[in-house]
Amino acid sequence: MVSLERHYSARDIEVRILTALRAAGLNPENRLSPEELGALDHFHTGGFQASCELLELAQIRAEDRVLDIGAGLAGPARLLASALGCRVDCLELSPDYCAGAVLLNRLTGLEDRIGVHQGSALDMPFSDDSFDAVWMQNVGMNIADKRKLYTEICRVLKPGGRFAFQEMVAGKTATSYFPLPWATDPADSCLVSAEEMCSVLGESGFIAELFEDTSDAHLNRAAANAAPSQLSLGVFVDNLALKAGNARRSLQEGQIRLVRGVFRVK
């Protein structure tokens, strides 16, 4: 496991979250909405808006059981559970993020619909054929063994189940600006090309329904939406401005690309 950023204790992350909410004018004693938290808990490129777009594409239904892998603070899981009414299980490696996810599920009144499990995507604590859909945003970039990852996802999905994801992939030249949001140095960054990603997905039992490069759309939108928010990932990510700047520059220069996809179990 690579160190994505400084790891806080569960108590630290709860205090940081509650302090940030109050500083942003939100009262944690009142029920909060997933939208109000969106700038804090969608820990991936494009944030809350990217999650809403993937939600449209993934075609998940209210009756589906969904697994969010590498769920972080479970912002996307709360969006899915509140927008669709589905049951979501979160799998997250970091115990402190799990604690933050449990706290935010309670503050949004969604704890009955969202389960939080601490564990690894490479050895998932779920039986075969458990889920109708698997959701994953900005997680595979830290997992070197893509074949094991995708085989595990295929295993826990029911026949015909969907895998909806977004990830950074390798571009035409090597990444050279560090730290990046997912990697302090090159050894932490496990990017493969889009072609290799699709090829391993196919060999692991998936067929593509959708696969697209959203790098340019993301860069254009990021330039237009520069409005600062009181809530931000900076609550728990060190050196956020430097890391985000390096990611933007890497995207602009084609060292990395942003892709998303919806694949189905064959």
Ligand X SMILES: C[S@@+](CC[C@H](N)C(=O)[O-])C[C@H]1O[C@@H](n2cnc3c(N)ncnc32)[C@H](O)[C@@H]1O
Which residues make up the interface to ligand X (CB under 6 A)? 4, 42-44, 70-72, 75-76, 91-94, 97, 120-122, 137-139, 142-143, 182
CB of 192 to ligand X, least distance (A): 15
Measured distance between the N- and C-terminal CA atoms of the chain, rounded to whole angstroms? 30
Residue 13 sits at the vertex; the CA angle it makes with 122 and 80, to the nearest 5 degrees, is: 60
CB of 16 to ligand X, least distance (A): 15
Q: Which is nearer to ligand X, 188 or 207 (CB)?
A: 188
Q: Which is nearer to ligand X, 105 or 137 (CB)?
A: 137
Which residue spans within 9-85 are E strands per DSSP? 65-69
CB of 148 to ligand X, least distance (A): 10
**How many residues are listed for the chain in this entry?**
266
Separation between Cα atoms, residue 165 and residue 240, nearest integer Å? 23
CB of 143 to ligand X, least distance (A): 5
- The dihedral region occupied by 72, where left means phi > 0, alpha psi between -120 and 50, and beta the remainder, is left
**Burial grade of 160 (CB within 10 A; 0-12, 13-18, 19 or more):** exposed
CB of 226 to ligand X, least distance (A): 21
49: enclosing H helix or E strand: helix 47-58
Q: Which is nearer to ligand X, 85 or 125 (CB)?
A: 125
Q: Which is nearer to ligand X, 45 or 215 (CB)?
A: 45
Separation between Cα atoms, residue 52 and residue 44, nearest integer Å? 12
Strand-pair category, 114-118 with 131-137: unpaired
Q: Which is nearer to ligand X, 44 or 162 (CB)?
A: 44
Q: Which is nearer to ligand X, 104 or 139 (CB)?
A: 139
Q: Which is nearer to ligand X, 26 or 247 (CB)?
A: 247
CB of 134 to ligand X, least distance (A): 12
Q: Which residues pair with 223 in a beta bridge?
A: none
CB of 131 to ligand X, least distance (A): 15
- The 3 state secondary structure assigned to 183-216 is ECCHHHCCCCEHHHHHHHHHHCCEEEEEEEECHH
